[in-house]
Amino acid sequence: MTAPIAIEVKGVRKTFLVKDGLLSKPRHVVAVDDVSFSVPQGGVLGVVGESGCGKSTPARLILGLLEPSAGEITVEGQKILAMDRKARARLIQPVFQDPFSSLNPLTRVRDIVAMPLIAQGTLDRATVTTRVEEMLERVGLSREQGTRLPTELSGGQRQRVAIARALVLRPRIVVCDEPTSALDVSVQAQILNLLAELRKDLGLTYLFISHNLAVVEHVASDVAVMYLGRFVERQPTETLFAHPEHPYTKALLASVLTPEPGLGVPDVGLGDTLPDPANIPPGCRFHPRCPIAEPRCSVERPPLKPRPGGGVECLLVP
Amino acid sequence: MSALLEVERLEVDFGGKVAAVRGTSFTVERGETHCLVGESGCGKSVTALSIMDLLARGARRRAQRLSFEGNDLRGLSDKAMARLRGNEMAMIFQEPMTSLNPAYTVGSQMTEGLRRHRKVSQREATDRAADLLARVGITAPGLRLGQFPHQLSGGLRQRVMIAMALMCEPKLLIADEPTTALDVTVQAQILRLLATLQRDLGLGLLLITHDLGIVARIATRVSVMYAGEVVESAATADLFANPKHPYTQGLLRCVPVPGKIQRDQPLGSIPGTVPRIGPGFEGCAFRERCGFADETCAHAVPRHNAGGTHDFLCRLPA
């Protein structure tokens, strides 16, 4: 039995035109390069990758904040760009990384959370107030905290406000872009637990973007590893963490410093050449840093080798 | 012989309102890596800045003892302190982009300190800078010396910062979150480099971080800070094997460890947030978030010894 598809991304490509300076020629930066994936209803797809790999772009495409240069995105069977903005807001909502810049510092918490309801323009004042109060309580904020300004709250509390604002319209899908990266570890755990609880209770689907592999392992049912605009490996979470196949996935996992004393800092074996999204290498885009690259890796483009629930893009895996 | 750095009952407050550091004590021995670990606002960076006498105007520093190689730092004139700073004691900051001057080349920034502290020619200083850049794993050092910070990637900039800190062969290196702004694969490379340099040069390294994974892998000794105090201090293996303070225990439970994650279980978390503490605060600062707190925690808390050099600040017995 397979769950119906919540998010479907087909052959999506997104390029940006970037100008370095006044006199330099604009360059094409490929943020997402022919990526296809789907997320079943109730699933959590974790997307991991390092800065500049383009991992935030799929989030913004799925939210309809950006238009893909090619390809198609459907959310719950509807083309996201063809949807009316209000309908889209009822279906899919974001939670962003930085609760310090994503909340208006001059608006009281309860008004921030009420905004999406008011924007719909169909609810009366009393209903809005009850819905906001319910939502604040649901994310663990008191009625008194609802009357405060975001600047008077801690980082964790602000992220709770952002979650309340995202969920107040009862969306089906939430796109979380690094939702805990700005938080301390003790607070990060609170927010991750809250997100997990809400997903279970409300039957939500998450696209969860993070650079923190441990966090992704905790929340995601499936993980996609992104490198320079492509998903180089996608597997069910257990498989990916137990048997990573792509050399980049292996290096990422090896770089995680678990709190185990005596092990020292691992040598991840990646060279110093850092990836540049404006200058994607031919062949396998990972080959300049790959510890096991062969000559053909710089020429041949690796095909997708399918796996149950995913696939790997590497010439050197069977 | 006295320890390299001795800090005893260090207190820092800002305009008599916020007590940022409240009686912190620790020592750094020659050739050891001492980690100060804690969440944002616990006073770990202020501690580092106050050792270097780089606190902002309006901050007041007091200490029972603050000595470097047995010499009291408290009464030193600005001039005498400037002779030590960047020379015998050097510091690496978190954000390599904002701590390098964008208007000067890497070479001129790297040689400035050495030329100021030692009688060397520009030629000699440049040679040393090139040597050190090679030492920290930068290829084509001659080229890099002529470049500006914006032409380097984050990992390279942090390597430049490290090389720059080593120009005058310091005995003590203070690194404040040196890898927080970097990707995990680059972080592993930089930490390996720091560990190697520390061992080869016999540096005393005071490393400030919020990441218990880094602590476990690199520290000889750990001091856990909470609300301006060291609440627990131990040799690294002891701290991870036998954490005594409820805060340390909670912090360790919050860290998701890849491979040991039970996905259906909530992560351990610490309820609440770090309190804001003014001068004259009494008792245990963690009591409002602590599962073991009782009314005695509102009064002065004893420091217990848990065997050897392991001690912690809590009413609970060892």
Class of the CATH domain delimited by B5-88+172-313: alpha beta
**A16 Cβ under 8 Å from any chain B Cβ:** no
Instruction: Give, rounded to a whole angstrom, the gap between the first and last alpha carbons of chain B.
Output: 31
Structure confidence at residue B9 as a pLDDT band (50, 70, 90):
very high
Nearest-CA distance from A252 to chain B in Å? Answer: 6
**Closest to A206 in 3D by CA, of A218, A217, A193, A220:** A220
pLDDT for B259 equals 67
Instruction: Write down the domain spans for chain B.
Output: 5-88+172-313, 99-167
pLDDT value at residue A273: 66
Q: Is the pLDDT score of B263 beyond 90?
A: no
Closest CA to B26 of B256, B193, B180, B233: B233
- Are A274 and B186 a contacting pair at CB < 8 A? yes
Contact B188, B214 (CB under 8 A): no
Q: Which ipTM was obtained for this model?
A: 0.81
**Burial B296-313, CB ≥16 within 10 A → b, else e:** ebeeebeebebeeebbbb
Contact B270 A253 (CB under 8 A): no
Q: What is the mean pLDDT of residues A169-194?
A: 89
Q: Which residue of B has its CA nearest to A263?
A: B217
Q: What is the pLDDT of residue A30?
A: 87
Averaged pLDDT, B235-243: 95
Contact B145, B129 (CB under 8 A): yes
* CB spacing of A264 vs B217 below 8 angstroms: yes
Q: In the predicted model, is pLDDT for residue A1 greater than 80?
A: no
* CA–CA dist A270, B257 (Å, integer): 23
Does residue B202 have a pLDDT over 80?
Answer: yes
- Report CB contact under 8 Å: A213, B263: no
Q: Count of CB atoms within 10 A of residue B265's CB?
A: 10
Distance CA A234, CA A226 (A): 9
Does residue B235 belong to the interface with chain A, where contact is any CB pair within 8 Å? Answer: no
Distance of residue A122 Cα from the nearest chain B Cα, in angstroms: 36
Orientation angle between helical segments A185-202 and A155-167, nearest 10 degrees: 20
**CB-based contacts of B96: which residues, under 8 Å, 6+ apart?**
B149, B154, B157, B158, B160, B161, B181
Answer yes or no: is pLDDT of B236 > 80.
yes
Is residue A41 within 8 Å of residue A5, measured between CB atoms?
yes
> Distance between CA A275 and CA A262 in Å, rounded?
31
A318/B contact by beta carbon, under 8 A:
no
The number of beta carbons lying within 10 Å of the beta carbon of residue A234 is: 26
Q: Summarize pLDDT for A290-311 with one digit per residue, the tens.
A: 999 999 999 999 999 999 989 9
Residue of chain A whose alpha carbon sits nearest to that of B192: A265
Is any Cβ of chain A less than 8 angstroms from the Cβ of B265? no
* Predicted confidence (pLDDT) at residue B46 exceeds the cutoff of 60: yes
What pLDDT, on a 0 to 100 scale, did the predictor assign at position B189? 84
